[in-house]
Amino acid sequence: MDIDNTLLLPNSEHKSDIKTPFLIGVAGGTASGKSTVCKKIMIQLGQADMDQAQRQVVSISQDSFYRELTPAEKAKAKKGLFNFDHPDAFNENLMYDTLQEILKGRIVKVPCYDYRSNSLDHENKLTIYPADVVLFEGILVFYFPKIRDLFHMKLFVDTDSDTRLARRVPRDINERGRDLDAVLTQYMTFVKPAFEEFCSPTKKFADVIIPRGADNTVAIDLIVHHIGEILRPGGSTNNLNAYSSVHTAINN
């Protein structure tokens, strides 16, 4: 198994009261606003009148599951010649195993991703405690069937490709240390074709498609309301049944 077991600590304190998080997948093309949608959902859920222990809502990026590159691949990546938008760029097994651990109510540590060095930042890890809601966002979170099946709710952030490109270019230059030539080469060679081949077709798996991304406050309000109903003790029976049956399947 690829997973680093040192990162997975059984949450013994909560053994008798293991929380199984409500796992939400958030897919969408690059720079579609996935992170902002997650942030807005987190803020709105956090504002609910909940007990402190019930308040945890956490968001994880699929980028934390990029596989480590060889020196030759790193050299290519520096010139925008590595395909970070292909499913093979990700460590599928580690992603699956980590989500399984999260669903079992275990504490997991996930490395952040350093886009400047194109590598995982193991010094800088996010600790995921058993939470009520875990959001998992990324371009290909619905691509891998085994992983797709773990989500209790699937959202697809659907933003026009010209808007996404207009956001991506300055972001990559200002925040990810890239130059314009490399950004455009990478976009035309890999990002756009991979979006069409691997990401866009996964829209059909979504429960909710969010047009215009994070600007769509009506959609976000509706989603937050729905999550609130599912998590509310004595909330919507149908939803709770659906939620429990997924849990049963995972826990068995």
The nearest distance, CB 35 to ligand CTP, in angstroms, is 3
Tokens representing 55?
Answer: 């308040």
Residues that bind ligand CTP (CB under 6 A): 28, 30-36, 61, 63, 66, 77, 84-85, 115, 118, 137, 139, 191
**In the complex, what is the shortest distance from the CB of residue 85 to ligand CTP, in angstroms, rounded to a whole number?**
5
CB of 250 to ligand CTP, least distance (A): 25
- Which C-beta is closer to ligand CTP: that of 21 or that of 28? 28
214 with 36: CB under 8 angstroms? yes
Token pair listed for 116: 């400047």
- Would you say 107 or 139 has its CB closer to ligand CTP? 139
Q: Please, which residue, 191 or 231, has the CB nearer to ligand CTP?
A: 191
Q: What is the DSSP letter of 235?
A: -
**CB of residue 4 to ligand CTP, shortest distance in Å:** 20
Contact 154, 37 (CB under 8 A): no
Minimum CB separation from ligand CTP for residue 3, in Å?
Answer: 21
Alpha helices, H only, the chain: 34-46, 71-78, 92-103, 145-148, 161-174, 180-186, 192-194, 217-231, 237-251
Closest approach, Cβ 158 to ligand CTP, in A, equals: 11
- d(CA 99, CA 19) in angstroms, rounded, equals 14
- CA 49 to chain CA centroid, nearest Å: 26
CB nearer to ligand CTP: give 66 or 243: 66
Phi, psi for residue 79 in degrees, rounded to 5: -100, 10
d(CA 77, CA 83): 8
Closer to ligand CTP by CB, 169 or 240: give it. 169
Closer CB to ligand CTP, 8 or 110, in the complex = 110
Q: H or E stretch including 88?
A: none
47 in helix, strand or coil?
Answer: coil
